[in-house]
Amino acid sequence: MKILLAVDGSEHTRRALAYLAAHDEWLGARHAYTVVHAATALPHRAAAFHGLDVARSFYEDDAQVIFKPVRQFLGMHGIQAKFVLRIGHPAKHIAALAKNGRFDLLIMGTHGHGAIAGLFMGSVATKVLSLCATPVLLIR
């Protein structure tokens, strides 16, 4: 099964990893994992002020901090994964990657670091559900 794991380094990302650890059926070599972090783009003026190289370095450094515990977790379970960074509207990038990559399942937390949260789910999770035809496993 091709599984896309959307992460942002929040508590819900840690809960998603704990869920995977508690459910052996999601672990193992029979699954192919891709881990995606979709970062909201800096405002255009901020990126222009600091320069594109500085902005890109910021995104990549932030992603490595977020990916590090996920890499460690998957490594402990013998899982090789592909790690992907997308910059822009997180929900649109996650849904597009799920579709274009022909994933069988998308796993993500219900909430992240977003400043605006929905009543029951975060705004990114809600938008992904509305855009995505891939089955989504939401971890609360």
In angstroms, the CA 91 to CA 35 distance is 14
**pLDDT of 103-137, one tens digit each?**
999 999 986 544 444 444 468 999 999 999 999 99
Q: Are 62 and 39 in contact (CB under 8 A)?
A: yes
pTM of the complete model = 0.88
In angstroms, the CA 25 to CA 51 distance is 45
Alpha carbon separation from 70 to 47, 74, 107, 115 (Å, rounded): 28, 6, 13, 23
In angstroms, the CA 16 to CA 37 distance is 14
In angstroms, the CA 101 to CA 34 distance is 9
Structural domains of the chain, with CATH: 2-139 (3.40.50.620)
**pLDDT of 46-103, one tens digit each?**
666 667 788 889 999 999 999 999 999 999 999 999 999 999 999 999 999 999 999 9
